[in-house]
Structure 1
């Protein structure tokens, strides 16, 4: 296995999904990135396939994790946001191939009804990544995420605050 410092970043997208009340979708993870029982929530995110447009990847990942298709694009963060995973997790996450993620973040408005959301049976038959979900005020997001992703979430919240109405 390559040394941690020599590992590349995985290219990904992240989605801040707003409902009509300005609340943000979060899902409760059940996975290897979990470091404790309190920081188990996150917004949808996932890998970008080689050559794939990041906006299309964001819509695909949202569908594969939540079954949601009813969205409209609101904004995107112009920069790529990067985080490192803890060395203690690096050997287990993504088969030890990456040291963290390089993410393009999008804000979307959910235009459907809550019954469209199905994290237990996500789109295209993908394995569920979330075991629960809820709508949460944006200002609560950074305290619910695993600490190593917190700087990225702080930046995403800052970038998209005006979209929440608060």
Structure 2
């Protein structure tokens, strides 16, 4: 997609907003409000795939470690080779800041366990993630939160599932 086509959609405003964020906690709060969990996971997955491709890992290894499809891996590879060098710029800056994991390193140094418990919990943070806090405040259990996430991702499918499953709350 040509970048000029994005201008009418508020992309400059979005980028300006992102550039105001100063800490990982601020990023978690903003992106939790802005994106669905699956959208955010897809961004992270693509960045991991790009890093692994840059490090020379095979499609099979990348697929096994990240769960990315071969189509996603191919798209990321095409961007690495024929894109706007955005990945290269980010990796260079992460390396300069000492935040780029070495080749073959596991991503997250324990974040996988934290993400399994709460995918929106900032690494090392003791405060509950915004969505988990909201769910607890409403007295929602894990199943209700999972239903909320499913509804965000595919509302039509969720309505069909609710209509077909007795006992689930229906939409008004």
User: TM-score scaled by structure 1?
Assistant: 0.26
User: TM-score scaled by structure 2?
Assistant: 0.26
**Structure in which a larger fraction of residues adopt strand:** 1
Structure having greater relative contact order (Cα 8 Å, sep ≥ 6)? 1
